[in-house]
Structure formats: C-alpha cells, structure tokens
C-alpha cells in the first residue's frame, strides 16, 4: 500500500481565493443594492458581470498554464484580484466599483484556472477538490457571521475577497515555476472524451445557473419574504455553510466508494427539492431548513463533478473548461434569479429552477456512468537511430609446410634396439 501523497496547500489556497467571490455573492449583491444607487436587478447584473469575468479567464487560459507557468500566472491573478476588489471596496463611484469588480473577477478566474490545472495533475483530484471546497465553505461561513457586525456598506465583502487573495499570494512560492510539460516539446494531444466532456460542461453550466439564480437572491428572500434581519440571515448562511463543511468531509471520506453517478444524480434531485423549499420560505424555520440542507448537498455534488472532469484529462483541460462553464452559469445566476423573481415571484422561481435541475441531472449522471478516467501515465515512444556496423573483412593467412612422412613416426611405448632370441621351453 502506497503512502498518501502530501497535501498541496498552495492549490487549496488558490481554490479558496478563486471561489470565494461566488460564495459571498448573496451578501455582495445585497449590499450593492443597499449601499449604492442600484436597483435589485442592477445589483444582480453587477454580480453577474463579476462572475462572467471570472469565467472568461478560465476559457482564455485553459490551455496556457503550461506556457506562462503556474507560479507566475497564479501571482498575476491574485494581484489582479486584490487590486480589483480593493478598488471596488474603497470606492463609491459606480464606474470604479464595476470596473474593479470586473478586474477582480478576472483575477479570481485566473487563480481558479491554475488551481484546477494543478489539481487535475494530482493522483487524488477528488481529495484535493474536497479540501478546497472545505476551505472556501469554512471561510465564507466565518465571514457571514462577521460582516453584519462591521456595519453597512458594500465594501466589506469585497475587501474580504481582496485580503484572501493577498493571503493566498504568500503560498505561491511553493508552486512550480514551470509544469513538466513545459520542459519538453510535445505535440498537442487531442482532448479525450470530447463528447462526454462537452455534455458535462453544458449540463454543469445550467446546473450552476439554477443554483446561483437562487443563491443570488437568497439574501432578499430571507429579508423580505421570510421577514428576517440581516444578522439572522447571516447566521443562517453561516450554519448552512457549516453544513457544507460536513458534506464536504463526508464526500472526502466516501471518495470513489459509491462511484460518481449516484452522488451526482441523487444529489441533484435532492438539491432541487431544497431549492423549491427555500424559495417558498415564509419564516425562519422553512428558510433555514431549505438553505442548510441545500448547502450541505451542493459541495458534495460539485466535488464529484469536478473530480469527474479532472479524471477525464490528466493535463487538466477538461477540469478548467468544465469549471469555467460552471463559472459562466454562476455568472448568469444572479441576473436570472433577479429577473425571474421580479416577474413571477420567489416561489414560482423556485419551482422553475427545481424542474430544470431534475432535467439537467440526467445527462450528468449518464456521463458519470459512461466515462472512464483517462490514463495518467503517458506512453512515450523514443525513436532510436540505427547505428551502422562496419563490415570487418576476414583475413586468411596461408601456412607453408612439408607433408609429414608416415615412416618418421613410431608407435607408442618403448622402442626395441635389436632382435631378441627365441625362447624355448623352460628347462630345455
């Protein structure tokens, strides 16, 4: 039995810093709506633009991590995230807030891209993914408990994301300057499992859109429909993300024992029920029940989906592309949720999203059933040039001699010198 490989903490830190903006989306959108001259739909649009910028970074950089190197790319992304979110947090001018959110989102997406590529190259991608989800859930839960006590204003959640990027920056020195692929030229290998990968990416886009359509307006559901205070809503979110920690630990403990199809298919169906319950909540009990159960299941299913994508290509391209598709769906979520809820109301929005999730879970489950992991040990053929062997001539040496005469040789034994007299009978 081989020993467990050491935990790649720089990748976990990058994962946490990259995904934190999406986890803090409800409080970010809610405070943009309350602290700036923006309507609820406009605030949701700003959140969507932020996450859309994050998704675009993944699509642009999916195949370029080898070229730039993980360390340099991660540092550039984290610095951009810190600068962008910091500018948006410190400014009240709408152009600076929106521009800073876009720049910060691109930085977050860059960090996520490097993390996804590195995780895909690990022998245990599901374990590292669950650790990353554990980190971002725990940090987001702590921030949901802390931010309401810091006072009003849109800057606190954005500043928290910027500080997290700076903290993750201190660990980037342990990332490799170049990936092993960058040292040796090789032909670009085609993407394995192309059909399954495209199907999984498309399904996860709508899966994430449905999740974040509710997540983007969950704060407003708690405040307006359920009649809770901001402190109560923050406490519910903190407990919900704590349940997400337990779900992540459970997913990490189970690992591949249940396969991937069962957690993805059954988990998505259960999430659909939780979304319908949370969207129809009118009091603390129903709101907390839906949010807590939903957040306990969400990281479990997501960890298996991202682990499936990572296993489909050891170079990490499907991991980045599927993750970017998820970010694209996440980006469209706040605006979609705002439009649906404004037109149909929160309960009807929840019903539509739940029905969509049930349909989306079918192709995701089929991909999990049919896809086998790509081999992680590439076979390298080395052409050995044929070395010519010079022909060595055979040299004959003639020997001159005189034929031997037979009479010159005697028989073995003593040689007689004279003829012996004949012996007669004894006593003659």
The two tokens of residue 107 are 């930085």
Buried (b) or exposed (e) across 44-56, using 16+ Cβ within 10 A? Answer: bbbbbbbbbbbbb
pLDDT means per 10 residues, the chain with 428 residues, are: 68 92 85 82 85 86 81 94 95 91 93 87 80 87 88 90 95 79 49 84 91 86 89 88 82 77 92 94 93 90 85 78 81 84 91 94 91 52 45 52 53 47 40
Q: Which residues contact residue 18 at a Cβ distance below 8 angstroms, ignoring those fewer than 6 apart?
A: 54, 77, 108, 109, 110, 111, 112, 113, 115
Which pLDDT score, from 0 to 100, does residue 4 have? 59
Which pLDDT score, from 0 to 100, does residue 162 have? 96
Residue with structure tokens 């024992």?
257
On whether the CB atoms of residues 365 and 243 are closer than 8 A, the answer is: no
Give the predicted TM-score (pTM) of the model: 0.70
DSSP state of 55: H
Residue 384 burial (CB count, 10 A):
5
Which pLDDT score, from 0 to 100, does residue 318 have? 82
Buried (b) or exposed (e) across 161-186, using 16+ Cβ within 10 A? Answer: bbebbeebbebbeebeeebeebeeee
Which pLDDT score, from 0 to 100, does residue 411 have? 53
Which pLDDT score, from 0 to 100, does residue 351 have? 94
The two tokens of residue 160 are 């928290």
CA 70/CA 146 separation, integer angstroms: 33
Torsion, Cα of 412, 417, 419, 421 (10° steps): -100
Which pLDDT score, from 0 to 100, does residue 373 have? 59
Which pLDDT score, from 0 to 100, does residue 407 have? 53
On whether the CB atoms of residues 203 and 302 are closer than 8 A, the answer is: no
Q: What is the CA radius of gyration of the chain?
A: 36
CA 96/CA 190 separation, integer angstroms: 42
DSSP letter string over 212-274?
A: HHHHTTHHHIIIIIS---HHHHHHHHHHHHHHHHHHHHHHHHHGGGGTTHHHHHHHHHHHHHH
Backbone angles phi, psi at 208, to 5 degrees: -70, -35
CA 426/CA 127 separation, integer angstroms: 115
């Amino acid at each position: 039995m081989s020993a467990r490989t050491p935990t790649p903490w720089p990748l976990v830190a990058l994962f946490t810093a990259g995904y934190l903006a999406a986890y803090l989306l409800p409080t970010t959108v809610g405070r943009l709506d309350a602290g700036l001259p923006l309507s609820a739909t406009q605030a949701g649009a700003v959140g969507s633009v932020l996450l859309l910028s994050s998704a675009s970074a993944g699509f642009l950089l999916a195949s370029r991590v080898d070229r730039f190197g993980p360390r340099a790319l991660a540092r550039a992304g984290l610095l951009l995230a810190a600068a962008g979110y910091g500018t948006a947090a410190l400014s009240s001018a709408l152009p600076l807030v929106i521009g800073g959110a876009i720049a910060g989102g691109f930085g977050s997406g860059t960090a996520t891209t490097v993390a996804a590529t590195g995780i895909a190259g690990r022998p245990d991608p599901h374990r590292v993914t669950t650790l990353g989800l554990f980190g971002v859930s725990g940090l987001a839960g702590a921030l949901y408990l802390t931010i309401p006590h810091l006072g009003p204003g849109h800057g606190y959640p954005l500043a928290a994301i910027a500080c997290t990027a700076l903290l993750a920056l201190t660990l980037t020195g342990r990332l490799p300057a170049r990936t092993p692929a960058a040292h040796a030229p090789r032909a670009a290998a085609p993407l394995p499992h192309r059909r399954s990968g495209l199907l999984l990416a498309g399904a996860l886009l709508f899966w994430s859109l449905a999740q974040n359509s509710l997540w983007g307006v969950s704060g407003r559901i708690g405040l307006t429909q359920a009649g809770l205070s901001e402190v109560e809503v923050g406490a519910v979110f903190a407990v919900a993300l704590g349940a997400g920690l337990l779900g992540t630990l459970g997913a990490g403990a189970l690992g591949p024992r249940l396969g991937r199809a069962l957690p993805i298919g059954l988990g998505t169906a259960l999430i659909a029920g939780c979304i319908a319950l949370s969207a129809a909540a009118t009091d603390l009990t129903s709101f907390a029940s839906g949010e807590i159960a939903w957040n306990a299941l969400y990281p479990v299913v997501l960890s298996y989906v991202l682990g499936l994508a990572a296993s489909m290509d050891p170079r990490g391209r499907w991991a980045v592309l599927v993750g970017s598709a998820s970010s694209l769906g996440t980006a469209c979520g706040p605006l979609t949720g705002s439009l649906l809820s404004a037109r149909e109301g929160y309960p009807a929005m929840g019903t539509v999203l739940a029905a969509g999730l049930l349909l989306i879970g079918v192709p995701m489950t089929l991909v999990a059933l049919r896809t086998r992991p790509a081999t992680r040990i590439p076979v390298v053929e080395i052409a050995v040039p044929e070395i010519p062997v010079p022909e060595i001539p055979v040299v004959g040496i003639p020997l001159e001699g005189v034929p031997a005469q037979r009479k010159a040789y005697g028989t073995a034994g003593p040689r007689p010198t004279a003829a012996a007299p004949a012996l007669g009978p004894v006593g003659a």
